[in-house]
Amino acid sequence: MIDQSQLLWFGMGIGFTLIVRSLIWLYWRYWGAGSLRDYIFEEEEPAGDYRVIKKIKTLVHKVALVEQDGQFHVFANGSEMFSTTEDENKYAEALVHVPMAVAQKRQRILIIGGGGGITTREALLYPEVNEITAVDIDSTIMDLGKNLEALVKFNKGSLNHPKVRTVIQDGRAFVENSSEKWDVIIQDLPEPASECPDLSRLFSVEFYKILQQHLEPGGVITVSCPYVSTMPEYFGAVQATLEAAGFYVLPYHFDFIVEFGSDWGFCMAATRPISSSDVQLKLPTRYLNQRRLKDMFSIPYYLSVEWDERYIQTDQNKLLLKIVEEAWGK
């Protein structure tokens, strides 16, 4: 017959085993090999409950596919790359429709970092577009954009459209080995980070000079500058680098300070002087209007920095990477 002391020890043993297993699971998930933190940074983690559908380690990224409240989020190397939320629609409109409004032609478009297909979806709205080349270094990201049902529905099948050519290659290598020219070049890339330091080469003065050679007369380039409210120096450095490459630069932003405490920055560049008065939208959009555009080209004080034009990103230095590391404490 089992006495009470035996039952107590038995119960304590089960409890200890459960605690150890829980600690092992927590360690594996957040700190150990295969840690979720390698795939989703704590500061980027969705608020509230979410479900990690899949984690994929590719040659380039650690990719996590996350579902929350029916919306899908794709993370790469800890940071969110894109999602099926309305925020993504606002970002895509700001990134695509502003340069499309300024470019003198809109027949041939290059999107560097186009794996999600969302910017491609927006560019396809223009009937005069004949060809869009969407380049992404990671075949897994492009595969999600082409085949993940929720994402295909969100991007309206853009990456499978007959006008769209998809290329799996480093964006710089693709341009360097191409003889083509484009009317609009959209650079939709995350900021350089310690997880992917080679990204700096796609923000360098040397690369921007190469892009200039591949721009049709009257063409426009736009470079995304994420999280500029956290690191306005990044905004200043990208502007200075584009100017050093010989471009006229018109910076703008999309204000999410009120809703989310963040702001998105963009640098539009051309080989001719451009101003906000040149931005006349060619088609209706959901989130852009003349009032919003006026605000977008009025750079607020918190984004304005006194930037020495000599400090630019080159193929040899780590300027943007240092700015990112200092801003995020990494």
Catalytic residue among 143, 188, 198, 278: 188
Only one residue has tokens 């990204």, namely 199
Beta strands in 84-146 (DSSP E): 108-112, 131-136
Only one residue has tokens 């998105």, namely 264
Q: 193 near 38, Cβ under 8 Å?
A: no
Report the first-to-last Cα separation within the chain, whole angstroms.
60
Tokens describing residue 105: 């032609």
What does the alpha-carbon distance between residue 321 and residue 194 come to, in Å, rounded to a whole number?
Answer: 7
Tokens describing residue 174: 């693709």
315 is catalytic: no
How many residues are recorded in the chain?
330
What does the alpha-carbon distance between residue 255 and residue 258 come to, in Å, rounded to a whole number?
Answer: 8
Beta strands in the chain (DSSP E): 51-57, 62-68, 71-76, 79-83, 108-112, 131-136, 164-168, 182-187, 215-225, 248-256, 262-270
Phi, psi of 65 (to 5 degrees): -105, 120
Which residue type occupies 222? T
DSSP letter at 31? Answer: T
Tokens describing residue 200: 């700096």
Q: In what order do the strands lie in the sheet with 51-57?
A: 51-57, 62-68, 71-76, 79-83
Q: In the chain, how many H helices and how many E strands?
A: 11, 11
Alpha helices, DSSP H only, in 155-305? 171-176, 205-213, 232-244, 257-260, 290-296
Residues recognised as catalytic: 188
